[in-house]
Amino acid sequence: MQHSSVVDRGRRSSAAAHRKSPGFSRAWCCSFAAAPGSPDPRSAPSPKPHSKSLSTGSPSPSAKRIIDPRRILSPGRVSPLPQTPSPPPLDPVLDNRSPPPSRPEPQSPVARVSTTERRLDLRLSLKGKDGKLLVLELDSRVLCESSSFFAAMVLEARRKVSDMSTDFRKIEVGGVEDLGVFKETIELMYEKDAMRWILNAGVSRAIDILEVSSTIMFDRGVMSCLKYLEAVPWSESEEEKLKILFTKCVFDEEVSRDVLARLGEQGLGKSEELAVRLIQSVVSGTNCNSRKELQSLVNGLLSKSSVYQKDPAGLNKESLYNVCYSCLNSLIELFVEASGSVPSGPKSKETKPLVERVSKEVENLNWLLEILIEKQMAEDFVSLWANQVQLIMMHERASPMIRYELSRVSASVFIALGKGKVQCKGDTRSSVLLAWFTPMLLDFGWLQRCSKGLDMRMLEEGLGQALLTLPLKQQQTLFVEWFQCFSLKGTECPNLSKAFQVWWRRSFVKSSESRS
C-alpha cells in the first residue's frame, strides 16, 4: 500500500511538474488540421501509454478518440492545440485562411506587341471615347519607322524624360473610336506579310484599319489596305462605308486611283443617258425571254422606290421619246408590209413572222408607256398616239389577227386615263378616245382571246371612266355607239353598263329634276 501511494504521488508530482515546465506552452490557432482535445479536464481522456499501439502497428481506441472532429465548446472559443512544428507558410494568393494582402489599384491590360526578341522600350496608352484604356508595350524603333505620327510623339517624350535610366517611355493617344481596330493597326506594323494579315481580317475590317492608318500616317498600312480592297469584291454596305471614308480622308491619288475607279468617282457619264441606251438595247433585242428579263431589270433600276435610283429625273425625256418614235415608225412599216402596198424584199431564214414582229413593237410601246407614266412624262405619248392617222386608216384594212395588236396600245392608254395616272388636257383626251374607241369595239373579242396579260375587267372599267371625263355631248356620241355595238356583239364588246348609267343620270335624270 505504501508503495502504491508513493507511486501515485510520484505520478501526480511529475504531471504537475510537466504542466509547470516553461518549455511547454499551448498554441491557439484556427487551423484546418485534425481537431485537438478539449481543454476541459473532465472530458479529456486519461493518458494512456502508446507502447502497445506502436508494437502491434494498429491504432489504439484512445488514438481514434484523439482524431475526433473539432468541437467548439463556447462562442469565440476554440480548442487549444499542443505545440507542433508549424507547416511552411503558403503563398498569399493560394492561402485563403490568411487575411488578404492589400491590393494595388486596378490597372488596364498591358499587351506586348513584337514579333521578334527586340527590347520593348515604349508604353503606349490608348484611351477610348467610352472611357476604356488599353496599354501596349512596344518596340519604339519599329513604331517610329512605320508612323511619322508616332515618331513625333516619341521624340517629344524623349525630350520630356529626365531620368534616362527608366525602362519605358510613355506616350498616350486619347479619343480613340475603336480600341480593337487601333490595336490591330499597331500590330500590322510588326507583321512581315501585311497582305496575308489583312486577307484574314476581311473587307470591313480592312476599311476600318485603312481609316486608322490614314490618321496615324502609317503609309505601308494604307497601301496594303487599298491594294487588298481593290482586288476583292464588296457588298453594298461595304461600298457605302468605303465611300464615306473617302469623303473623310484624303489619300494619294496615285495609290487610290484603282479603288476610285471602282467607286465611280472619276466622272462617269450621266445616268439618264446610260438608262436610255439600256432601254434602246432592250427595244432592239430579238430574244423574247431575254427582253422580258431585261425589262424587269430596267424597271427595277428606274423605279422611284429603287435603292439604285439616285437622280430624281432619271431619264432624258427627249431621248426617251425618240425611242418611242422609232418604235412607231417600225410599226407603221410593218402594217404597210401587211397591207401589201409595198412589195417586201426577199426573206431570210432569220426573219421572224410578221405577226411576231408586230407584237414585239407593240410590247415595246406599252413598256415605254409604263416608264413614261412612272416618270410622269406620259402626256405627250397620249397626244402622239391620238395623231396616228396612218395607223388608224391601215387598221380598217388589216387582218384582225394583226390589227388587234394596235388596240393593246389603246387599252394601256385608256386604263391610264381612267385611273388618273395621266393628266391630259380635255382636247387630248377627246382626240385619243374619238380616234381609237371604234377600233377598240372591233378588236375587243380578239383581246379577250389573246389578252397576253391584259386585265379585261380593268380595261372595261378604265375605258368607262375615261369616257366620263369627256364633255357630255361627246359622251353621248360614244356611249350610243357602244350601246348599238353591244346589242349586236354581246360579250365580244366591252361591257360599259355602269359608266353608261352614270352618264344617263348626269345627262337626263338630274337635269330633269333641276327643271322641275
Q: Tell me the C-alpha to C-alpha distance, in Å, between residue 113 and each of 142, 205, 210, 215.
A: 11, 19, 20, 20
User: What confidence tens digit (pLDDT) does each residue in 141-180 have?
Assistant: 999 999 999 999 888 888 776 555 455 688 999 999 999 9
DSSP string for residues in 438-449: HHHHHHHHHHHH
Give the model's pLDDT for residue 296: 92
d(CA 151, CA 294): 57
User: pLDDT at position 314, please?
Assistant: 62
**Per residue in 379-428, pLDDT tens?**
999 999 999 999 999 998 999 999 999 999 999 999 999 999 998 899 99
Residue-level pLDDT at 323: 95
Sign of torsion, CA 62 66 71 73?
positive
What are 452-485's pLDDT values in tens digits?
999 999 999 999 999 999 999 999 999 999 999 9
For the chain, residues with pLDDT lower than 50 are: 1-82, 84-107, 115-116, 165, 266, 309-313
Q: Where are the beta strands (DSSP E) in 167-235?
A: 169-176
110-113 and 133-138 strand pairing: parallel
pLDDT score at 120: 83
| pLDDT confidence of residue 449 | 93
